[in-house]
Amino acid sequence: MSYPYQIKSLEQYHEVYKKSVTQPEAFWAEIAEYFLWKKKWDKVLDWNFKEPKIQWFRGATLNITENCLDRHLQENGNTTAIIFEPNNPSEKSISLSYKELHFRVMQFANVLKNNCVKKGDRVLIYMGMIPELAIAVLACARLGAVHSVVFGGFSAQSISDRLHDAKAEFIITCDGAFRGEKIIPLKNVIDDALVNCDFVKKVIVVERTQTPVSMLKQRDLWWHEEIKKVELQGNPFCEAEEMNAEDILFILYTSGSTGKPKGVVHTCAGYMVWANYTFVNVFQYQKNQVYFCTADVGWITGHSYILYGPLSAGATTLMFEGIPTFPDAGRFWDIVDKHQVNILYTAPTAIRSLMSFGLAPLRNKNLSSLKVLGTVGEPINEEAWHWYDKNIGKEKCPIVDTWWQTETGGIMISNLAGITPAKPSYATLPLPGVQPILVDETGNEIVGNNVSGNLCMKFPWPGMLRTTYGDHERCRQTYFSTYENLYFTGDGCLRDADGNYRITGRVDDVLNVSGHRIGTAEVENAINMHNGVVESAVVGYPHDIKGQGIYAYVIFSGGLNDADLMRKDILQTVTRIIGAIAKPDKIQFVSGLPKTRSGKIMRRILRKIAEGETENLGDTTTLLDPNVVGDIKNGKI
């Protein structure tokens, strides 16, 4: 398989970039020709950022699974689509060819059909990283059901919130998930979530860990038993539903600066083209290469770069069930060695964490198959970049630093492996089709180079979000109202003398902890649920491994007899309300918070104190009670 739209030189990059800006519709129409459509589009793009209204390939119909599966069968049916590497290295890995994956997706789509799942229905997926997860996602897409995958680290409360928001009547889950030494009891969590979700009709459960579960009559079904029924029905085929280009493909919940996660909506055609085009170009994927993205399918990275991007490109994608440090910190390198991985895509957090184990875990690991390395999710510091380059890439693998967001659907700013130059800690240049712009606080464009500002996009791209589920106004407000006629990313950014972009981090109240996005307001809400808490304020602070850590200032009611016990209680509350990923790293009990006369918490001051700054706290004269600042500084932990 070759990709005619794969950019092969720096000159070509510049040429193609220019075309993407001057003739965007012609540019995308040409690329879209290489996909399988049931019906071609009438109009490539119709848009305004005011409402916003974004329509790509309007009038076209397709099914993304035909692009990810059916169209590969004839020439590449026996190519491995998915390599599954289990948590426990002594368990056998599994390979599924495109033919097998196609078969199993149709089979499970028939299970969903038997259980009355139809086009447009929302299906919540809460599973570990096993092949059935890929099959479940693709089976939904086959029928045109809208999947919403929830990461296995989220709590019952978070699942219940998402079920209500998406009005999802179907769930696919597992009895449990293996994660290092632990077993996460997924079905039990679902049961807790369902206590107040009686609209859920069916829960299909994969048996993976043999964790004891309670199966409710009528509602709960075993995956393997449902598959047996389909086998007995005898017809393995399942037609791919004809989807309009702008029908919803999936909802993925993500945090923002307000308390409630929002359902980012991606649609069928634009997302497909974007995931594929970015995968092929950024990683410079070549036929038969083995590609390993270490993310979880519960995040956008897993959607776009474990499943849809690679599979639509006919690639071999590796799914890893476990964690980088089990059974030891050499696990990634074992996997690279064992499966002859050519492309490795991971997070700076993982690199920094593995760095801290030194070089011993690399001993006797053959990494010579590696050709391309990538990072995603957060800024990568130069030290980690060089460690990755030297010890993993042996200074012969280009590293792509890919900047993008759940909302962008796929990679926006990145070097193209081996084609455009890398620069440590810079995402470098926008992909053709991406038109970044830096603006100041008032929305004026910051022109020229060697400048910094807030990162926006001035033109749509096929993979961008279309709305936030059930609340279009929220989408408009969050992304399209800060600056007129621009999509605002929420990131600060600088542009160097050569036009390279470097993302400097969020400028809103959103934290990036180990590459996971967490809203400070969400964590505050969770802390405030504890009945001893009067008020709290959460900020981020630099953390050596996680990038950012979570620092919580908490006002406690009544006497505080045992601060450590209270801290544990609060952590327990956060785990229960959101999930363990949102647990504060530090909790400081305070008697008051720095507030302005109008009652607004001055987070700027709290951030500085959390960062360890004690002197230059800026202007504190507008504070209602400037004395609290001294108390907080003295009590810093």
Find the shortest distance in angstroms from Cβ 379 to ligand WT7.
Answer: 4
Find the shortest distance in angstroms from Cβ 146 to ligand WT7.
Answer: 19
* Segment lying near ligand WT7 (by CB under 6 A), choices 109-117, 477-485, 509-517, 601-609: 509-517
Find the shortest distance in angstroms from Cβ 161 to ligand WT7.
Answer: 18
Residue 301 contacts ligand WT7 per CB under 6 A? yes
The answer to whether 492 touches 507, Cβ cutoff 8 Å, is: yes
Task: State which residue, 135 or 295, has the beta carbon closest to ligand WT7.
Answer: 295
Residue 352: other Cβ atoms inside 10 A? 22
Task: State which residue, 342 or 414, has the beta carbon closest to ligand WT7.
Answer: 414
The answer to whether 403 touches 430, Cβ cutoff 8 Å, is: no
Q: Identify the CA nearest to 487 among candidates 496, 497, 477.
A: 477
Sole binder of ligand WT7 in the list 402, 467, 536, 548 (CB under 6 A)? 402
Give residues 411-430 in contact with ligand WT7 (rule: CB under 6 A). Answer: 427
Residue 404 contacts ligand WT7 per CB under 6 A? yes
d(CA 140, CA 143): 5
Find the shortest distance in angstroms from Cβ 55 to ligand WT7.
Answer: 23
d(CA 217, CA 37): 41
Q: Which two tokens stand for residue 282?
A: 């950024």
3-state SS, residue 559 = coil
The tokens 């509350």 sit on which residue?
573
Residue 377 contacts ligand WT7 per CB under 6 A? yes
* Segment lying near ligand WT7 (by CB under 6 A), choices 63-71, 103-111, 456-464, 486-494: 486-494
DSSP state letters, 378-399 = SPPPHHHHHHIIIIISTT-S-E
Q: Identify the CA nearest to 605 among candidates 586, 595, 548.
A: 595
Residue 491 contacts ligand WT7 per CB under 6 A? yes
d(CA 446, CA 501): 13
Residue 289 contacts ligand WT7 per CB under 6 A? no
Report which DSSP code applies to 318.
E
* Segment lying near ligand WT7 (by CB under 6 A), choices 126-134, 207-215, 404-412, 609-617: 404-412
Find the shortest distance in angstroms from Cβ 625 to ligand WT7.
Answer: 34
Whole-angstrom Cα Rg for the chain:
24
User: Which string of x and - marks every residue 50-89 that binds ligand WT7 (by CB under 6 A)?
Assistant: ----------------------------------------
d(CA 137, CA 105): 9
Task: State which residue, 84 or 403, has the beta carbon closest to ligand WT7.
Answer: 403
The answer to whether 279 touches 304, Cβ cutoff 8 Å, is: yes
Residue 300 contacts ligand WT7 per CB under 6 A? yes
Find the shortest distance in angstroms from Cβ 282 to ligand WT7.
Answer: 11
Q: What sign has the CA pseudo-torsion 69, 71, 77, 83?
A: negative
Sole binder of ligand WT7 in the list 376, 437, 570, 602 (CB under 6 A)? 376
User: Under 8 Å CB-to-CB from 51, ≥6 apart: which residues?
Assistant: 472, 476
* Segment lying near ligand WT7 (by CB under 6 A), choices 26-34, 130-138, 265-273, 374-382: 374-382
Q: List residues near ligand WT7 by CB under 6 A.
A: 254, 299-301, 376-379, 401-406, 427, 489-491, 503, 506, 512, 515, 517
